[in-house]
Each structure stands twice: as structure tokens, then as C-alpha cells.
């Protein structure tokens, strides 16, 4: 990571070959039990309005499954959350030049946010580990077992005209939250950001 105007520029990885990563699904009932039995850290990471909450989009959706985010307008998809006075800490948009995702990320644990794009450039994932105290899966990678006990993820389907190779991700920090901004240029755009 390098510093860029007060923010850290994150490296966007494409070489993740972790076997079985995100292979254990997070079901609705499992998530509800996990969150109700958890403390402040779990609620900060997965609570209402968080990018990593399975209920971010108004109904349950496992964050380890790829979601076609840019097929929806943020105002429409997040309307019920915003109308209830809920704290929404995520937004996305698109311009003629790029797709943009902005989100607060709670500072919990070592907050090692990573961004990956699959080799085909079709799915972007944002993940990080928030709990280093629990024993990881047999292969030593926390993402291969009950990942929600160790970290968080949000996987997003990228639009057909997204130029994943030229994407940029920036992270800025304060005491309670980090702010993540990801910019994905459109293939047909003539200008960069």
C-alpha cells in the first residue's frame, strides 16, 4: 500500500488461489445466531448499514455470493434502510467514465482490508480479518471455513464494461472507521479518473 493524498492506495490482487475460499455459506439462521451471540465487534462489522451485512439490500443475501451491485440504483436498493432512519455506511454510483463504490469499514482487529478481482475480471471481492483469536480452518486460511467468525467479505459482480485491470482502491483511516473508495473505469471511457 502506498500513500496517496491522505489515503492509502490498496493493491488490487488478481492472484488469489486459495482453495475452498468462501465455500462455507453463511445462512440466514446461522447469521442471526452468530450476531445475537456476538459482542460489539460483530455488530460493528456486520450490523445494519454495513457493506458486509447480509441484510444490506433489504433481504438476506450471503455476502460471500457475488451480487450484481451496479445493476441497481443505490437510492432504490437502500431506500428501506434509509427510510427507517438506519445508518447506511455504503454508497455506489456510476458516471460516464467509471463505477464507484464508497463505504465505511469499521476498525476492528488489525483491519487488513484486501481487494481481489478474479482472473476473468468478472467478480471483485473486498475482505478482511477482524478476529485473530479464533482458530482458522484446517488449511490455515480463515476464508476456507466459518469465515464470518474471523473476517468479512462482500463479493460483487462487475458490469460487462468494467475495466477491472485499471481499478483503483483507496483506504483512509480515523479512530472508529476506515473509509474505502473503489473506482473501476469503464472500458469504453476515453478518460481515466
User: Is residue 17 included in any domain, yes or no?
Assistant: yes
In the chain, at which residue ranges do the beta strands (DSSP E only) sit? 2-4, 7-10, 12-13, 90-94, 98-106, 114-117, 123-129, 151-157, 168-173, 177-185
User: Is residue 2 included in any domain, yes or no?
Assistant: no
> CA-CA distance, 134 to 150, in Å (whole number)?
7
CATH number for the domain that contains residue 84: 2.60.40.790
Residue 98: count other Cβ atoms within 10 Å of its Cβ: 21
User: Is residue 162 included in any domain, yes or no?
Assistant: yes
Residue 88 lies in domain: 7-185
User: Is residue 181 included in any domain, yes or no?
Assistant: yes
User: Is residue 1 included in any domain, yes or no?
Assistant: no
User: Is residue 192 included in any domain, yes or no?
Assistant: no
For the chain, first and last CA: distance in Å? 19
User: Is residue 119 included in any domain, yes or no?
Assistant: yes
> CA-CA distance, 72 to 158, in Å (whole number)?
12
* Pairwise pLDDT comparison (132 vs 22), residue with the higher score: 22
DSSP for residue 191 = S
Residue 48: count other Cβ atoms within 10 Å of its Cβ: 14
Nearest to 13 by CA among 117, 111, 154, 113: 117
> CA-CA distance, 180 to 10, in Å (whole number)?
10
Q: What is the largest CA-CA distance in the chain?
A: 50
pLDDT digits (tens, 9 = 90+) for 64-117: 999 998 888 887 777 766 665 556 678 899 999 999 999 988 765 555 788 999
pLDDT digits (tens, 9 = 90+) for 145-172: 888 988 899 999 999 999 999 999 999 8
SS3 content of the chain, % helix, strand, coil (to 5): 20, 30, 50
Q: Which residues pair with 156 in a beta bridge?
A: 67, 124
User: Is residue 178 included in any domain, yes or no?
Assistant: yes
Query: What stretch of H or E contains 140?
Result: none
- Number of domains composing the chain: 1
Upper half-sphere CA count for residue 105 (Cβ side, 13 Å): 27
Burial of 117 (0-12, 13-18, 19+ CB in 10 A): buried
pLDDT digits (tens, 9 = 90+) for 97-109: 999 999 988 765 5
Amino acid at each position: 500500500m502506498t500513500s496517496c493524498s491522505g489515503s492509502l492506495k490498496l493493491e488490487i490482487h488478481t492472484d488469489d488461489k486459495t482453495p475452498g475460499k468462501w465455500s462455507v455459506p453463511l445462512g440466514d439462521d446461522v447469521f442471526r445466531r452468530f450476531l445475537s451471540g456476538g459482542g460489539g465487534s460483530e455488530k460493528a462489522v456486520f450490523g445494519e448499514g454495513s457493506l458486509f451485512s447480509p441484510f444490506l439490500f433489504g433481504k438476506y443475501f450471503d455476502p460471500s455470493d457475488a451480487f450484481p451491485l451496479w445493476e441497481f440504483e443505490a437510492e432504490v436498493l437502500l431506500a428501506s434502510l434509509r427510510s427507517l432512519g438506519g445508518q447506511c455506511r455504503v454508497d455506489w454510483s456510476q458516471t460516464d467514465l467509471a463505477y464507484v463504490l464508497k463505504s465505511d469499514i469499521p476498525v476492528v482487529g488489525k483491519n487488513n482490508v484486501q481487494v481481489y478481482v478474479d482472473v476473468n475480471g468478472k467478480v471483485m471481492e473486498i475482505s478482511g480479518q477482524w478476529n485473530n483469536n479464533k482458530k482458522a480452518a484446517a488449511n490455515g486460511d480463515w476464508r476456507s471455513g466459518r469465515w464470518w467468525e474471523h473476517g468479512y467479505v462482500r463479493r460483487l459482480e462487475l458490469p460487462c464494461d468494467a475495466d477491472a485491470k485499471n481499478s483503483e482502491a483507496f483506504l483512509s483511516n480515523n479512530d472508529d472507521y476506515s473509509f474505502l473508495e473503489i473506482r473501476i473505469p469503464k472500458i469504453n471511457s476515453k478518460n481515466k479518473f
